[in-house]
Chain A
Amino acid sequence: MSMGEFFHMGGYAFYVWSAYGLAAVVLIANVLLPRARRRRLLRELARERQRADRSR
């Protein structure tokens, strides 16, 4: 099987690769988003603490 044939998927390339592409996007996003959110949360909490320290 050549590379071209592989990507051609017997004429079903659009359907097969769209399904796999969508899955990849959704699954990767669900790993990256919580990571970014946790970093953001920790930054926010640090700022909150600094403000609380100053007003004390």
Chain B
Amino acid sequence: MSRAHASTAAPGRLLALWHAMHRLAAPRHFYHFAGRVAPWLGGVTLTLFAAGLYGGLVLAPPDYQQGESYRIIFVHVPSAWMSMFVYVVLAAAGAIGLIWRVKLAESVARASAPLGASFTFLALASGSLWGKPMWGAWWVWDARLTSELILLFLYLGYMALQSAIPDRRTAARAGAVLAVVGVVNLPIIHYSVEWWNTLHQGATITKFDKPSIHLSMLIPLLIMALAFQLYYLWALLLRLRCELLVQERRTNWVGELVESRS
């Protein structure tokens, strides 16, 4: 069916939308789309970071128990949330690649892994820097901390697998299996503070009743969370462009792109 017909009736419009999405998923279009969107995402991300940092470091009052040390929360909690969110993306993109052989999904998974590992590292490191003054220890083998450390190993294992298998599509499939199996770790991380008696404090924000955190702290925390989320999208687009160039290096459009630049 030609695209010219698909614009009048409602099903026609749906079809046009489908074509547009299909077109965007084509590596060539996605490469240019990402290049156009990335600077805007970067600008919005930096603005949100500035607002969140000002709110969290300057406007928010000190905690009545933890004093100023609690300000680590504004990097710790968003990093921890992102470490889990990116893992969901990794596993979902992996599964889509596994089932439907969508190349773009495979690239999303491959590009997400180092970002997820970065967030997990930041969650662990900032938690350690918070734990030392509050608990008196850099590290304890507590259920929350241990399951988050396992998450870091899952990311590192995924990345090791990608660099160990030269064929990218085989690597994507092997990585997807690892990522999907590793999903069992996510509920363990989330519920660890309820299932086990841990040193780590329970949920303060994602409780169903009222969050036990004051608005002057909650608002900068949510702004930082949004900033981290957009940052991930931004960094993901930058990495995806590289992945697409490598994956498509033998195609005409990359050839034309290289030609036009030299």
Which A residues form the contact surface with B (CB < 8 A)?
6, 9-12, 15-16, 18-20, 22-23, 26-27, 30-31, 34-35, 37-38, 41-42, 45-46, 48-49
Most buried by A among B75, B122, B246: B75
A22: nearest residue on chain B (CB-CB)?
B125
| B68 contacts A by Cβ under 8 Å | yes
Task: Give bound CA distance, A34 to B122, whole Å.
Answer: 19
Q: With contacts A19-B126, A26-B122, A35-B238 known, is A12 near B69, CB below 8 A?
A: yes
Residue contact B126 to A10, C-beta cutoff 8 Å: no
State which of B75, B122, B261 has its C-beta within 8 Å of the C-beta of A42.
Answer: B261
Residue contact A41 to B125, C-beta cutoff 8 Å: no
Q: Closest 6 CB pairs between A and B?
A: A10-B68, A34-B238, A12-B69, A19-B126, A9-B68, A23-B75
Residue contact A15 to B115, C-beta cutoff 8 Å: no
CB neighbours of B246 from chain A (8 A): 41
**Given A20-B75, A34-B239: 9 more A-B contacts, CB < 8 Å:** A11-B67, A12-B133, A15-B133, A22-B122, A22-B125, A23-B122, A38-B245, A45-B245, A48-B249
What's the nearest-Cβ distance from chain B to residue A36, in Å?
Answer: 10
CB neighbours of A46 from chain B (8 A): 258, 261-262
Residue contact A45 to B254, C-beta cutoff 8 Å: yes
Per the CB 8 Å criterion, the residue count for chain B at the interface is: 40
Task: Give bound CA distance, A30 to B116, whole Å.
Answer: 11
Task: Give bound CA distance, A20 to B14, whole Å.
Answer: 46
State which of B231, B241, B257 has its C-beta within 8 Å of the C-beta of A34.
Answer: B241
CB neighbours of B75 from chain A (8 A): 19-20, 23
Of residues 219 through 244 on chain B, the ones whose CB sits less than 8 Å from some CB of chain A are: 231, 234-235, 238-239, 241-242
Task: Give bound CA distance, A27 to B75, whole Å.
Answer: 11
Residue contact B71 to A30, C-beta cutoff 8 Å: no
Task: Give bound CA distance, A47 to B230, whole Å.
Answer: 35
A45: nearest residue on chain B (CB-CB)?
B258
CB neighbours of B115 from chain A (8 A): 30
| B121 contacts A by Cβ under 8 Å | yes
Q: With contacts A18-B129, A19-B76 known, is A9 near B239, CB below 8 A?
A: no
| B130 contacts A by Cβ under 8 Å | yes
CB neighbours of B259 from chain A (8 A): 49
